[in-house]
């Protein structure tokens, strides 16, 4: 009976979402307060009912109700509690429900934090979000109902894919989906601005914090997924350019462009139609990602079981949502004004060239991901596009971007004098260059490697990172110079300034991680008898054999590897080779000792046949690899800092003033 | 105002491609060997290791080369189809026991019946590799001049036997 | 010093029978070359994985054949060609530049060029358009705003 309650709640939520999608938008068009007034209650209502449905599914999982087909397919009575909960989104139907739930969370947040916005704006934004929600609920109810019963009930479930039985599953999908879905807010703001014909700087100011929050979630979500792959897949890679990874990377790149473009639009009221297009594009790519993952058009390790019916539905939905918004764009965007003045060379133009690079990067990932599909559809046969292509294309796009990332924060709004800027950065650039050329020589020694090879790619990576760091130092010096108390001057800088710099520093840290792990990682694939040792990168690894250890729903062969450096014990690692009871699927669980400057990473291969307890063991020393995720975290924190800035705090006066006089922002630009 | 319509146009083109992509099988890889001469080899037969088989022997006849193994689950589904088909005596079927222990292969055929006119043993999988085998079972149709005309990846089913293989075989035999 | 010696003695028995582990590969240099090449080859049995990391039997076979061919002195390109002849172009993760893949390889750079050109064009066009009298009117308005709203400094970036 309880699962039917969940089903029923989804139906009620669908009707609420449909009403939300129609009435307030109609109300805004007819200027009817009553119709616009239903927007908030309906947004809360759909949230309550979807949350109810989600709770019902959670209950079915936690109580092992195998009469629900979805539970029977994705859980098992032996599955530990936290994974039984996370298994809710371990498959297609439940992850859709999570998606719908998070969308309603965003809509409810918009309803709550929009008291200062004009009523018709709120009505339109919530209305657009309601339409999207209705589409997803309809999709779920027609093709992917998580509450479908299995009669007779299964005695036990088929178990969750062992690869997913990991803390990563608990946190990665919700974070990533928060990002994906969060771009719907920026999208809804853009659409309602187009609908209302009021595409001005205030629109940019309102949607900026929402976009940044979504971007923060997405950054964290992608980083978590990458970290999960790093320790779970057993060979220490952290990004594979798999179509599904690309599906999350494309909207992230475009979202990053959007954040920067919104800055120009807010400051200068310029390039509004471009910014609107980016807002539509970022969310469209989120939707497209859903399509790619769930329709089976591309091969991927992540893809859900495909069903052509679902593919058709999502494609239809894509065409309606994206097609309609692009049509609206083609109709309304030409009437958008030009905005304030700025020079060919100014912070604005640098931000916009960053936009060009990020959009091209996003489009390149898009083309690489879908090219096999295009070729096949055109009858040219099959081909594959993988990591080598993306790496070859990405580096040349990132180099100019990072160069401009260093210049951007130093350049003045509206107009910059090239000689002045050049003289300010020349020492910074020179020092970055010297460090980049010399550091690789020291690196080999520092990482105790046999050969301290110098490679141009490592030098290039370091140059990019230290260029960002140098520009940050120059910018800080410039801002903090002057008379008086340093602490006071530090306090006087806005949080959004610190946020921006922290995020950029995150990029530098990220590049250092990528560069050094690529350039200096040590990998050994060895056969180890009990008691054998091997020295790699200055560490001595000793293999103490494998013992059988029972886990909650698996049996693990747990290896013991002790690591010494200069006679001191530095790590006691326990890599596992698990066999899951229900599926019989083997899984390699690597053991990692993370460190600021290197990770020690050990994973078990196969036992060596006809030996006494010998195993194939993979040993990696990965210098600076954690900097990759530390960088991502810094980017996300930078985002959080910048939205904590007081100008985005919800106080009525500031925004009312801003909406009355978008010109004010021009002045601020000048003042800073 | 062309440039404002451009995104819409691009998206609609994309949608057409996505629609076309919906039905396609992403896992199946068309063989580049179709239309090319079947790679030559010489392998011992399964039952009598002293006897060798080479595709040259089949020149002048249309024949099937079916790659199977005792460890292959899908081959068990395919087996009855082949048994039925071989009883119709349409054309010779040559089985390749791929990466298998000789005794296991012989045992399987003893228990389930032998649909093959000849079975050869490709114990190390070298010949299978030359034929581009990556998912057993796989079946090749080879014409009278020794050219590969068709490759079936995965088990032969009564449906694809009726709709694809039989018409092709009839056409090739008529030549 | 004494503690150090005690520590050393504790280690001794374990060291006495410890041997140095051997690489799985007979020839680590060749192995590294093989893995590097295998990263460019798609495992056809798996959904989306290169042969270098795949655990599938087919990938193991391919790796073995690559090792063999390398020992026989084949170049990387010859090995890739051999694989393409048997399994088709879709085994390559790194599609070679030819007529079919020219758009793929060219697109990023063409887009970059077009994007850059478009941006410069737009910026130039704006420069021509935005400088006009209406701006001075706005300037006046802004000046008035500034005087009335000293708190607007709070909104600085």
Give the gap in angstroms from C-alpha A316 to the nearest C-alpha of chain B.
9
* Nearest in space to A139 (alpha carbons), one of A316, A296, A284: A316
Interchain contact C2–B (C-beta under 8 A) = no
Assess whether pLDDT exceeds 50 at residue A670.
Answer: no
Assess whether pLDDT exceeds 50 at residue C154.
Answer: no
For A590-627, b where at least 16 C-beta lie within 10 A, e where not — what string?
bbbeebeebbbbbbbbeebeeeeebbebbbbbbbbbbb
CA distance B25 to B31: 14
Kindly state the average pLDDT of the residues A100-119.
Answer: 94
Residue C130 has a pLDDT of 58
The residues pairing with A615 across neighbouring beta strands, listed in sequence order, are: A528, A607
Backbone phi and psi for residue C46, each to the nearest 5 degrees, phi listed first: -80, 170
Percentage of residues in chain C having pLDDT higher than 90 = 24
Digit-coded pLDDT (tens) for B99-114: 888 888 888 888 888 8
Digit-coded pLDDT (tens) for B45-100: 888 888 888 888 888 888 889 999 988 888 888 888 888 888 888 788 999 999 88
Question: Shortest CB distance from B18 goes to which of A297, A327, A330?
Answer: A297
Backbone phi and psi for residue B148, each to the nearest 5 degrees, phi listed first: -75, 125
Kindly state the average pLDDT of the residues C6-16.
Answer: 42
Contact A19, A49 (CB under 8 A): no
Contact A408, C71 (CB under 8 A): no
Residue A392 has a pLDDT of 92
Assess whether pLDDT exceeds 50 at residue C46.
Answer: yes
Chain A partners within 8 Å of C93 (Cβ) = 384-389
Per-residue tokens: A410 = 């130093």
Residue A671 has a pLDDT of 35
Using CA atoms in the order A25, A29, A34, A35, what is the torsion angle rounded to 10 degrees?
-30
Chain A partners within 8 Å of B30 (Cβ) = 381-382
Assess whether pLDDT exceeds 50 at residue C1.
Answer: no
Question: What is the chain A residue with the closest CA to B1?
Answer: A334
Residue A198, classed as helix, strand or coil, is: coil
Confidence (pTM): 0.89
Residue C6 has a pLDDT of 45
Residue A264 has a pLDDT of 86
Residue C12 has a pLDDT of 42
Question: What is the chain C residue with the closest CA to B33?
Answer: C86
Chain A partners within 8 Å of B1 (Cβ) = 330, 334
Judged by CB atoms closer than 8 Å, whether chains meet at A526 and C142 is answered as no
Residue A501 has a pLDDT of 94
Lowest mean pLDDT among A40-49, A198-207, A306-315, C122-131: C122-131
Chain B partners within 8 Å of A291 (Cβ) = 18
Interchain contact C44–B (C-beta under 8 A) = yes
With bands split at pLDDT 50, 70 and 90, how would you rate the model's confidence at B153? confident
Residue A304 has a pLDDT of 63
Residue A66 has a pLDDT of 95
Contact A185, A210 (CB under 8 A): yes
Assess whether pLDDT exceeds 80 at residue A542.
Answer: yes
Residue A196 has a pLDDT of 87
Kindly state the average pLDDT of the residues A551-556.
Answer: 92
Kindly state the average pLDDT of the residues A192-215.
Answer: 89
Chain B partners within 8 Å of A295 (Cβ) = 18, 22
Assess whether pLDDT exceeds 60 at residue A539.
Answer: yes
Question: Shortest CB distance from C22 goes to which of A303, A363, A526?
Answer: A526
Question: Shortest CB distance from C95 goes to which of A367, A383, A658?
Answer: A383
Judged by CB atoms closer than 8 Å, whether chains meet at B31 and C88 is answered as yes
Highest mean pLDDT among A40-49, B17-26, C26-35, C131-140: A40-49
Residue A450 has a pLDDT of 57
Residue A451 has a pLDDT of 56
Assess whether pLDDT exceeds 90 at residue B30.
Answer: no
Percentage of residues in chain A having pLDDT higher than 90 = 62
Assess whether pLDDT exceeds 60 at residue A661.
Answer: no
Q: What is the DSSP string of C54-68?
A: --SHHHHHHHHHHHH
Residue B23, classed as helix, strand or coil, is: coil
Residue B25 has a pLDDT of 67
Residue A305 has a pLDDT of 60
Which of B3, B7, B19, B27 would you mutate first to test chain A, the one with the most A CBs within 10 A? B7
Lowest mean pLDDT among A23-27, A425-429, A434-438, C43-47: C43-47
- Burial (0-12, 13-18, 19+ Cβ within 10 Å), A189: buried
Angle, vertex CA A322, rays to CA A317 and CA A323, nearest 5: 95
Q: What is the ipTM of this complex?
A: 0.88
Assess whether pLDDT exceeds 70 at residue A577.
Answer: yes
Contact A432, A405 (CB under 8 A): no
Kindly state the average pLDDT of the residues A224-234.
Answer: 88
Chain C partners within 8 Å of A352 (Cβ) = 119, 123
Tally C-beta pairs within 8 A across B and C.
33
Question: What is the chain A residue with the closest CA to B4?
Answer: A330
Residue A446 has a pLDDT of 75
Digit-coded pLDDT (tens) for A44-63: 999 999 999 999 999 999 99
Interchain contact C125–A (C-beta under 8 A) = no
Neighbours of chain A (3+ CB pairs under 8 A): B, C
Judged by CB atoms closer than 8 Å, whether chains meet at B132 and C89 is answered as no
* Nearest in space to B71 (alpha carbons), one of B1, B7, B123, B143: B123
Kindly state the average pLDDT of the residues C93-97.
Answer: 87
* Nearest in space to B112 (alpha carbons), one of B134, B125, B97: B97
Alpha-helix runs per DSSP H in A167-200:
167-196
With bands split at pLDDT 50, 70 and 90, how would you rate the model's confidence at C147? very low
Give the gap in angstroms from C-alpha A371 to the nearest C-alpha of chain B.
10
Angle, vertex CA A546, rays to CA A544 and CA A548, nearest 5: 145
Per-residue tokens: A589 = 């669980």
With bands split at pLDDT 50, 70 and 90, how would you rate the model's confidence at C156? very low
Report the DSSP pairing between strands B93-98 and B63-68: parallel
Q: For A77-133, what is the HEC assignment?
A: CCCCHHHHHHHHHCCHHHHHHHHHHHHHHHHHHHHHCCCCCCHHHHHHHHHHHHHHH
Residue C138 has a pLDDT of 56
> What are the start-end ranges of the E strands in A446-575?
522-528, 533-536, 539-550, 554-565, 568-573
Assess whether pLDDT exceeds 50 at residue C14.
Answer: no
Q: How far is CA B64 from CA A46, A340, C86, in A?
A: 61, 75, 19
- Burial (0-12, 13-18, 19+ Cβ within 10 Å), A561: buried
Give the gap in angstroms from C-alpha C155 to the nearest C-alpha of chain A.
6
CA distance A281 to B6: 13
Per-residue tokens: A311 = 């593919």
Residue A657 has a pLDDT of 42
Residue C127 has a pLDDT of 75
Chain C partners within 8 Å of A371 (Cβ) = 101, 103-104
Which of B129, B131, B136 would you mutate first to test chain C, the one with the most C CBs within 10 A? B129
Contact A465, A512 (CB under 8 A): yes
Contact B140, B151 (CB under 8 A): yes
Question: Shortest CB distance from A312 goes to which of B1, B22, B30?
Answer: B22
Judged by CB atoms closer than 8 Å, whether chains meet at B30 and A319 is answered as no
Alpha-helix runs per DSSP H in A521-645:
626-643
Judged by CB atoms closer than 8 Å, whether chains meet at B27 and C85 is answered as no
Assess whether pLDDT exceeds 60 at residue A667.
Answer: no
Question: Shortest CB distance from B29 goes to which of C44, C57, C65?
Answer: C44
Contact B153, B138 (CB under 8 A): yes
Backbone phi and psi for residue A329, each to the nearest 5 degrees, phi listed first: -65, -45
Residue A413 has a pLDDT of 85
Interchain contact C48–B (C-beta under 8 A) = no
With bands split at pLDDT 50, 70 and 90, how would you rate the model's confidence at A499? very high
């Amino acid at each position: 009976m309880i699962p039917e309650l969940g089903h029923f709640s989804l139906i009620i939520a669908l009707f609420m979402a449909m009403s939300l999608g129609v009435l307030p938008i109609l109300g805004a068009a007819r200027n009817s307060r009553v119709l616009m007034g239903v927007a908030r209650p309906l947004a809360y209502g759909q949230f309550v009912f979807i949350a109810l449905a989600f709770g019902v599914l959670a209950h079915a999982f936690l109580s092992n109700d195998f009469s629900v087909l979805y539970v029977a397919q994705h859980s098992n009575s032996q599955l530990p509690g936290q994974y039984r909960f996370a298994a809710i989104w371990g498959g297609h139907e439940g992850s859709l429900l999570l998606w719908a739930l998070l969308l309603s969370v965003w809509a409810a947040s918009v309803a709550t934090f929009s008291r200062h916005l004009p009523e018709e704006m709120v009505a339109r934004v919530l209305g657009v979000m309601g339409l999207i929600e209705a589409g997803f609920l309809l999709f779920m109810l027609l093709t992917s109902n998580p509450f479908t019963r299995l009669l007779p009930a299964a005695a036990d479930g088929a178990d969750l894919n062992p690869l997913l039985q990991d803390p990563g599953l608990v946190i990665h999908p919700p974070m990533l989906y928060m990002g994906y879905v969060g771009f719907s807010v920026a999208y809804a703001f853009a659409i309602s601005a187009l609908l209302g014909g009021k595409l001005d700087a205030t629109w940019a100011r309102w949607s900026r914090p929402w976009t940044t929050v979504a971007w923060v979630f997405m950054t964290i979500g992608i980083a978590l997924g990458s970290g999960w792959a790093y320790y779970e897949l057993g060979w220490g890679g952290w990004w594979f350019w798999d179509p599904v990874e690309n599906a999350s990377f494309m909207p992230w790149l475009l979202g990053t462009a959007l954040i920067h473009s919104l800055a120009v639009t807010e400051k200068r009221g310029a390039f509004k139609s471009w910014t609107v297009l980016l807002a539509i594009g970022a969310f469209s790519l989120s939707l497209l990602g859903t399509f790619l993952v769930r329709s089976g058009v591309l091969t991927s390790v992540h893809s859900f079981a495909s069903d052509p019916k679902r593919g058709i539905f999502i494609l239809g939905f894509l065409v309606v949502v994206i097609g309609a918004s692009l049509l609206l764009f083609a109709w309304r965007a030409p009437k958008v004004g030009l905005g304030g003045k700025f020079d060919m060379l100014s912070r604005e133009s640098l931000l916009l060239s960053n936009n060009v690079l990020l959009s091209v990067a996003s489009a390149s990932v898009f083309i690489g991901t879908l090219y096999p599909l295009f070729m096949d559809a055109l009858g040219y046969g099959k081909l594959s596009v993988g990591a080598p292509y993306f790496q070859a294309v990405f580096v040349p796009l990132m180099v100019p971007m990072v160069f401009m990332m260093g210049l951007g924060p130093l350049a003045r709004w509206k107009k910059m004098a090239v000689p002045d800027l050049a003289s300010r950065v020349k020492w910074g650039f020179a020092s970055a260059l010297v460090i980049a050329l010399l550091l690789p020589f020291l690196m080999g020694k520092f990482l105790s490697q046999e050969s301290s090879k110098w490679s141009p790619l490592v030098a290039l990576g370091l140059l990019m990172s230290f260029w960002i760091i140098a520009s940050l130092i120059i910018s800080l010096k410039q801002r903090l110079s002057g008379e008086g108390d340093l602490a006071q001057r530090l306090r006087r800088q806005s949080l959004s300034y610190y946020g921006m710099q922290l995020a950029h520093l995150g990029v530098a840290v990220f590049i250092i991680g990528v560069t050094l792990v690529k350039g200096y990682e040590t990998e050994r694939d060895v056969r180890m008898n009990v008691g054998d040792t091997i020295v790699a990168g200055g560490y001595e690894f000793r293999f103490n054999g494998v013992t059988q250890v029972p886990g909650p729903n698996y049996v693990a062969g747990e290896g013991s590897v002790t690591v010494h450096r200069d006679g001191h014990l530095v790590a006691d690692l326990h890599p596992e080779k698990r066999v899951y009871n229900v599926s019989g699927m083997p899984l390699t669980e690597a053991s990692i000792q993370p460190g600021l400057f290197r990770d020690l990473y050990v994973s078990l291969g196969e036992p060596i046949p006809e030996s006494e307890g010998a195993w194939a063991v993979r040993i990696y020393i990965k210098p600076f690899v954690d900097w990759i995720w530390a960088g991502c975290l810094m980017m996300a924190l930078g985002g959080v800092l910048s939205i904590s800035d007081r100008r985005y705090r919800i106080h009525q006066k500031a925004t009312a003033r801003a909406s009355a006089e978008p010109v004010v922002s021009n002045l601020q630009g000048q003042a800073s | 105002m062309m440039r404002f319509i451009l995104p819409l146009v691009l998206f609609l083109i994309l949608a057409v491609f996505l629609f076309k992509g919906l039905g396609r099988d992403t896992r199946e890889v068309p063989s580049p060997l179709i239309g090319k001469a079947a790679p030559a080899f010489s392998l011992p037969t399964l039952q009598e290791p002293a006897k060798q088989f080479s595709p040259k022997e089949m020149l002048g006849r249309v024949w099937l080369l079916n790659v199977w193994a005792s460890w292959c689950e899908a081959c068990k589904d395919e087996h009855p189809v082949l048994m039925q088909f071989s009883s119709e005596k349409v054309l010779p079927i040559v089985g390749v026991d791929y990466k298998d222990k000789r005794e296991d292969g012989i045992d399987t055929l003893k228990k389930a019946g032998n649909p093959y006119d000849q079975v050869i043993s490709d114990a190390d999988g070298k010949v299978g590799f030359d034929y581009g085998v990556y998912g057993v079972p796989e079946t090749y149709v080879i014409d009278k001049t020794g050219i590969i005309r068709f490759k079936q990846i995965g088990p032969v089913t009564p449906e694809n036997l009726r709709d694809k293989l039989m018409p092709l075989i009839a056409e090739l035999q008529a030549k | 010093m004494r503690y150090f010696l005690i520590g050393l003695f504790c280690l001794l028995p374990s060291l006495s029978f410890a041997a140095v582990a051997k690489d799985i590969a007979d020839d680590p240099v060749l192995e590294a070359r093989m893995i590097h090449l295998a990263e460019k080859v798609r495992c056809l049995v798996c959904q989306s994985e290169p042969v270098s990391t795949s655990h599938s039997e087919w990938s193991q076979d391919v790796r073995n054949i690559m090792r063999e061919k390398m020992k026989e002195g084949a170049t990387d390109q010859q090995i890739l060609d051999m694989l393409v002849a048997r399994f088709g172009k879709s085994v390559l993760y790194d599609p070679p530049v030819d007529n079919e893949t020219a758009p793929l390889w060219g697109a990023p750079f063409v887009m970059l060029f077009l994007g850059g050109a478009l941006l410069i064009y737009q910026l130039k066009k704006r420069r021509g358009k935005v400088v006009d009298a209406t701006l001075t009117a706005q300037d006046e308005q802004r000046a008035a705003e500034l005087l009335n709203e000293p708190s607007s400094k709070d909104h600085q970036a």
